[in-house]
Each structure stands twice: as structure tokens, then as C-alpha cells.
Structure 1
Amino acid sequence: MHDGIIQQEDQGRTPPLRLGGLHYAWIVAATGAVAMFCGLGLGRFAFGMLLPSMSASLELNYTQSGILGFTNLIGYLVAVILSPLILPRFGTRATGTASLLLIAASMLGMAFTTSFPLLCTLYVLTGIGSGGVVLPMMSVMSHWFFPSHRGLALGLVMAGPGFGIILSGFVVPKLLPVSTLLSWQTGWLIFAVINVVVACLTFTLIRNHPNDVNQSPFGRTPTLPVKNKKKLERSNIKLLVHLGIIFAIYGATYMVYVTFIVTSMVGSYQLSEATAGGIWAWIGLLSVFSGMLFGWISDHIGRRLGLALAFFFLAIAYLLVGLTDWTLGLYMSIILFGLVVWSVPVIMAASAGDYFGPAAAASALAALTFAFSGGQALGPVAAGYLAELTGDFSISYMMSGIAAFVAIGLALLLRPQKSV
């Protein structure tokens, strides 16, 4: 069995593409991480830092804040629905590049408006672009990596959004109005420029398949034959639904946390916006390691047990801010959430390749992400409504903790995956 690092070259064949002797799979993974930095880190999670200043200047209530976040997820769902049609035709390279440019255009529009309806419309486009980055960058790893290293590679890709959280946490509180633009509008303008630069990088370095550069996937060759069916089998629908429910629970609970935890820190915990930004940046710093950590763990103990362990830590993080307004509990929650935040998407993406095979991984991941997006869409809206009734987000965090324990039980009911 080869380890994927040294590949035999056939006589008369073009030498495989490498950078400094590094297997090109890792170049693709690193580029995917940079794309995810924009697609999720800036396109989705920077919103939580910009939200307090946006709400103040636009006089938004909790429900309207939830609706604005919901519009992004509508766009994300549109991308999920279209991806099985677009991705096979255009590939990861073209789809990811175009999506990053769409995000840039929508952010540029948001930088020059204070109209709430127009912001909602533009944030739908941002959501479409985010989905158009996430699905290709995650699913292409099933082509580039065998199961032995698939979780670790996906963890590297999911390190990207963490840097987006770090950037927004440190930069957003320091933003100042520029000419007629408010501070949050300046933030969107800066993020738009970054997206254009990363789109150029993505087009330059991403490759759709190892065959494009005369290489084989990285990792240990599987002992069982790799599934090559391009469509999901009907017998796998039950498993897909099972995984989808788990992913929907994660989507709803984590989205409540990332959307409103900064608002809670400023409101319930009476922290300044700058202090809350610094704490938010710590989530980003810790999250850089979360995907790689749990990807590696799931490579060794299996996706089923990896999911259960991840949800256990998520449940504790949610309950720490749901059951008490203790500041130390907030810090403990931040640490736990940061260390585990990208665990579930990484394990789900790896599971799509493991359970359904590399060729069908994109379709399986699209279906799973649809369920995930549905949870994300409902979570912030429900939490915003409950906050209007109760005055804070404690009940929402408590319900998130209970839901996470339900997900642990569902994860343990999964059958162990076979190596594919």
C-alpha cells in the first residue's frame, strides 16, 4: 500500500504537479481553507460581529436581526439545491471562483446602502456565494484524499473560517466611518476586496481531480474497493435521513450561538463591544484547530463516535451560557465551543465520502447540507422570537443544549462505516 506521498511515474507521462515536493492534495486543501476563510469566515460569521452596530444604526429589533440572518440562509439553501446540477458541469475550480466573486459583489452592495430590504436581498446573494464555496471545497476532498487522511484534510479546510472570525473580532470593533459610510459598511467594503483577491488565488491553485495533475489521492490505499457510483443508491436514503437529522440539529444550535453570543455578551454580560470582539476572536483562534482535531479523532475512532464526542462538548458549551449569567461560565463556554465548532461539518463531509463513495460524495453532502441549512434557518429566527418574549437568549441556549444531547443518541445509533 502506498502512502500517497511518493507516486510512481509512468514512462512518457507528464510528471505530476508538485510544489516543493509536497503532494498537490495538500495545496488543494490549503487553498480550500483560504476560500472557506472568505465563504464562511467573512460571508457568514463576520455578521455576528457587525450585527450590534448594524442593529444600532438601523434600529433593528431582535426579530429583524434574526430575519437578516435568515436571508443569508435562504441564499445558502438555493446554492445547496443548485449545486448537484452546477458542480458536475463546471467543477470545483470554476464554481468556487464564481461564488467568491458573487460574495464580493454582494458585500460591495451592502457597503453602500442602509436600506433594510436591500440589505436582506444582498445578503441572500452572499448566502448563495457561501454555499457555492462550501460544498465544492468540502466535497472535492473526497477525490483528493483516501479515508485514512480525509478527516484531517477536511479539518484543514475548515480552519479557514476560524481566521475569518479572528479577523472580524479584532478589526470590526476598530472600524471607523469613512466619508458617508458607517463603520459596519466599511467592514463590508474591506471584506469585498479580500474576496476578490482570494477568488484569483482559488482559480490559480484549485484542481478538480488528482487526474488533472497526474496524481493519485493522498493516503493509505483502502483495503476495500472504492465506490464509484455517481448517484446515491435508494438503499442509502434511510442513512442519509439519519445523518441529515443530526446535521440539522447542529445547524440550528450552532447558528443560534454564533449569531447571538456577541449580542449576549454586550447585553446580558454587560461587556463592551471591544471586549466582546476580543472574546469572539478567541472563538476563531480555537476553531482553527477544532476541525483538524476532530477530523483526526474521527479518522482513528470512527465518524460515529467522533460525532457523539463533538455533540457532548457542544451541549456543555450551550448549557454554560443558558443556565447561568456567570462570567467564568461564559469564558468556559467560549473555550469549549471554539475547540469543537467545526467538528460536526468536518465529520459529516468525511462521512459523505466514507458511506457513499467519492463519486457520490457531492450529492450526499448537498442533501446533508440542505438539512443543515434548514436547521440554520430556523434556529436564529426562533431564538430571536424567544428573546423578544423573555428579554434574552437563555432559553434558546438551554434548548440548544438539550437538542445536542438528543444528537448524541442519534449519532450512537449510526452503523460504523466501512472503509471505502
Structure 2
Amino acid sequence: MMVGMGIGRFIYTPILPGMMHALGLSASDAGLIASANYLGYLIGAFVAAGRWAEGREHNVALGSLVASTVLTGTMAMTDSVAAFLAIRFLAGVASAFMMVFMSTIVFSRLARAGRSDLSAWHFSGVGGGMAISALVTGLLGYMAASWRADWLAGAVVSAIGVLIVYMLLDREPGASTRPVPEPNLSMTGAMGRITLAYGLFGFGYIVTATFLVAIVRQDGLGVEFESIVWIAAGLAGVPSVWLWGKMVGRWGLARVFAVGCVVEAIGVVASVTVGGYAGPLIGGVLLGGTFIAITAFGLQFGRQIAGASPRRALALMTAAFGVGQIIGPIAAGAIADRTGNFTAASLLASVVLLVAAFVAYGAGKRV
């Protein structure tokens, strides 16, 4: 998860300001490149859901990590927007494969060991990878290295991670069974609401997740602080699933989802309205401290209310989430180019998150 998600997907955020400055990329260009990655993730998730990889999960999981590593380094080899779009699209596919197949292996082993509670640590890898990528890019920024060096360094760190995974990965066959045909998903009021809320959340969180470090750069707060903000986001993400999980037993999944969206909306607003260093730092901590948990618990709630069709619910919600992720950076980039900053785009994202909270809370009332 550190390699395939924390670095493979999210190292783009701390590298982006340097790329925009050196290559003259507009905010619209940057948003389009980000969306290509999320489109790849969406398509990869659906392809991975097929039965073609049964019995080959280990090889596909490792292969996707190798591909993610190679594609990370390849970003340093070009300055073409078209090439960036293709590379980040393929990196999105690779990260989706890693997510699906590695999680299948890990969760199968945890279930057999009776330690499903440890799944929170699996998700913590996303935040850990974000923090590591910020440390690496921050050190290189302090040394006045180019954005190309950032991508190459990310590939080197990823390669080390792949080697560690290769040595540790369990080679026993998983406990998976052949998928049982599911009935058509019953689109109840609760299912419709949580699906809509999940798509809105995808739009709302990704604006800050893509442009937070660019916001810091635009405010002239220093290269060192850019790294600090993304490190803070990553570290906040490490225990987030475990911490929010403590509240699920008290509030239920729908309410935790809703509260998480509200907390994240506060951070999104703070990132562009609170002056000085405090605003982006608050935004980073509240982003990292919420988005991984909201993503996980939203899917869990969908599976809970899907009855006999959990896989269909997962596919539907993944599609809604993916559409939100794809539209978010494109819309935010266009708005930023028109207004000259990311304030209006971030305020729009916060409103969308609040709407997601309201819709999700309503879904909980309908169960």
C-alpha cells in the first residue's frame, strides 16, 4: 500500500508544483493529468474484478507493484503532457490491481488467522507512503534538485519496497472461492443515497488531495513547508482507519461517514482561508485523518445494505467514486485558471463534501 498507493498514486501531489513551474503547466493541465490516473484506477478496478486472475493473485500483485515502480520513474523521462496522461493512466491501472489483489491476499490471511482487526494497518500504508514521498521530495527540494529527480527518487524508494514485499509475501494459496452469481442489486433508498454520497465524496476530497501542495507553493510558504504539509497529511492517515473504527461501534457506519465528510470539509476550507502556515497544515492533517477511513467505511456500509449482492454494490460505488475523482481535478483546475487561485475550487469541494455528509446521514436513517 505504501508503494502502490502512497507513492504510486499520491507522490504526484508534492511533485506537482515543481512540474508546473518548470514546464509551464496550467492548473487545467495538472488537473487533467491527475484525472488520467483516477480514470486508470477506475478501469483497473473493474478489470481486476473479473475471474481471469484466479490462482495468479500473487504474481499479479507483485507485477502491479513492479509496473507502478517503473511508471513512476518513467515520468522523469518526458515533458509531454500527452505522455504524462498515458503514464499516469497506466499507473492508475497498476495501483488498482495492487489494491484489489494484494488486499485479497492480506485479508484472506487475516481472516484465517482470526485477526481481521489488523486490516486497519493494511490501510495505514497509504498514509505511510505519502509521508515517505514527502520526505524524499522535501530533501531533494532542499538540495534544489529538479522535479525529474523527485520521480526517479520515488521509483528507487518504490523498488526497495517491492523487494521487501517480495521477501515477505505469503506464498500460500489464498482462501478464495469461485465467485457465486449474485442477484441484481436492489436499488433501495439507502443504497441510492450512499452511492450518491460516495461519488460526491470522491469529488470533494480529491481537489485538496491533488492541489494542496500547489496551494502552499502559490502562497509562497517555502519548499520546506510544502513537504511538512504532505508529511502531516500522511502521518495523520496512518492511524485514521483504526481511530475512526473506534467510533463505528458507537455511531454506525453512515454517521461516521457523514461526520468524516464534515471534518474534511472544515480542513478544505481552512487550507485556503486561514492565513499563514496554519491553514494548509490544518487542511493536510484533516485530509489525511479522514479520506482513507471514509473510503473504507463507505464501501463497508454499501456492502452491509446490499444484501445478497455485495460485489455489485462494490462495483457501483467504485464507479460513482471514480467519476467523482475524475471530474474533481478537471473542474478545480479550470476554476483555478479562471480565478487565479484555488480558493473558489476548494470552497466548491467543501460544499460538495457537506452535501455528501447530508446524503450519507440520510442513508443511515433509511436502513
State TM-score, norm by structure 1: 0.76
Tell me whether 1:193 sits opposite 2:156 in the alignment: yes
Residue in 1 aligned with 2:351?
A: 402
CA spacing shift, 1:91–1:417, aligned 2, 3 Å: farther
The CA deviation at 1:202 is 4.0
Residue in 1 aligned with 2:12?
A: 47
The answer as to whether partners of 1:91 and 1:208 remain within 8 angstroms in 2 is no
The CA deviation at 1:325 is 3.8
- What does 1:304-315 correspond to in 2, within 5 Å? 304-315=254-265
CA spacing shift, 1:364–1:111, aligned 2, 3 Å: same
Match of 1:233 among 183, 193, 214: 183
2:58 aligned partner, one-letter code: R
**Residues 333-359 of structure 1: CA distance to partner in whole angstroms, max 9, x if unpaired?**
3332232231211212433554457x9
The CA deviation at 1:309 is 1.6
Residue in 1 aligned with 2:238?
A: 288
The answer as to whether partners of 1:84 and 1:363 remain within 8 angstroms in 2 is no
Partner Cα separation in structure 2 for residue 137 and residue 67 of structure 1? 28
The answer as to whether partners of 1:92 and 1:140 remain within 8 angstroms in 2 is yes
Residue in 1 aligned with 2:341?
A: 392
The CA deviation at 1:145 is 4.1
1:156 aligned partner, one-letter code: W
Partner Cα separation in structure 1 for residue 86 and residue 142 of structure 2? 23
The answer as to whether partners of 2:131 and 2:231 remain within 8 angstroms in 1 is yes
Residue in 1 aligned with 2:212?
A: 261
The CA deviation at 1:199 is 3.7
The CA deviation at 1:377 is 0.7
Tell me whether 1:75 sits opposite 2:73 in the alignment: no
Tell me whether 1:411 sits opposite 2:355 in the alignment: no
**Residues 171-218 of structure 1: CA distance to partner in whole angstroms, max 9, x if unpaired?**
10322799xxx6322222232234344445445524687648xxxxxx
- What are structure 2's unaligned runs of at least 5 residues? none
The answer as to whether partners of 2:3 and 2:162 remain within 8 angstroms in 1 is no
Partner Cα separation in structure 1 for residue 216 and residue 142 of structure 2? 24
Residue in 2 aligned with 1:245?
A: 196
The answer as to whether partners of 2:127 and 2:234 remain within 8 angstroms in 1 is yes
Q: Percent identity?
A: 23
Partner Cα separation in structure 2 for residue 296 and residue 92 of structure 1? 31
Tell me whether 1:205 sits opposite 2:154 in the alignment: no
Matched position secondary structure for 2:10: helix
The CA deviation at 1:365 is 2.8
**Residues 305-329 of structure 1: CA distance to partner in whole angstroms, max 9, x if unpaired?**
2112211211211222344545434
- What does 1:16-415 correspond to in 2, within 5 Å? 36-86=1-51, 89-90=54-55, 92-138=57-103, 143=108, 144-145=110-111, 152-175=117-140, 183-202=146-165, 204-206=168-170, 211=175, 230-238=180-188, 240-267=191-218, 269-325=219-275, 327-356=277-306, 361=310, 363-415=312-364
Partner Cα separation in structure 1 for residue 293 and residue 309 of structure 2? 22
**Residues 87-142 of structure 1: CA distance to partner in whole angstroms, max 9, x if unpaired?**
76246433322211221221232232223322221111111111112233446666
2:331 aligned partner, one-letter code: A
Residue in 2 aligned with 1:8?
A: none
Structure 1 runs (4+) deviating above 6 angstroms are 207-210
The answer as to whether partners of 1:100 and 1:133 remain within 8 angstroms in 2 is yes
Partner Cα separation in structure 2 for residue 266 and residue 100 of structure 1? 30
The answer as to whether partners of 1:232 and 1:364 remain within 8 angstroms in 2 is no
CA spacing shift, 1:88–1:296, aligned 2, 3 Å: farther
Matched position secondary structure for 2:335: helix
CA spacing shift, 1:136–1:417, aligned 2, 3 Å: farther
RMSD over aligned CA atoms reads 3.2
Partner Cα separation in structure 2 for residue 173 and residue 70 of structure 1? 24
Partner Cα separation in structure 1 for residue 232 and residue 139 of structure 2? 16
The answer as to whether partners of 1:248 and 1:372 remain within 8 angstroms in 2 is yes
CA spacing shift, 1:322–1:308, aligned 2, 3 Å: same
Structure possessing the higher radius of gyration over alpha carbons: 1
Aligned length: 363
1:189 aligned partner, one-letter code: L
The CA deviation at 1:163 is 1.2
Partner Cα separation in structure 1 for residue 268 and residue 336 of structure 2? 16
1:412 aligned partner, one-letter code: Y
CA spacing shift, 1:205–1:140, aligned 2, 3 Å: closer
State TM-score, norm by structure 2: 0.86
Partner Cα separation in structure 2 for residue 195 and residue 174 of structure 1? 17
2:317 aligned partner, one-letter code: L
The answer as to whether partners of 1:140 and 1:208 remain within 8 angstroms in 2 is no
The CA deviation at 1:263 is 0.9
Partner Cα separation in structure 1 for residue 213 and residue 66 of structure 2? 28
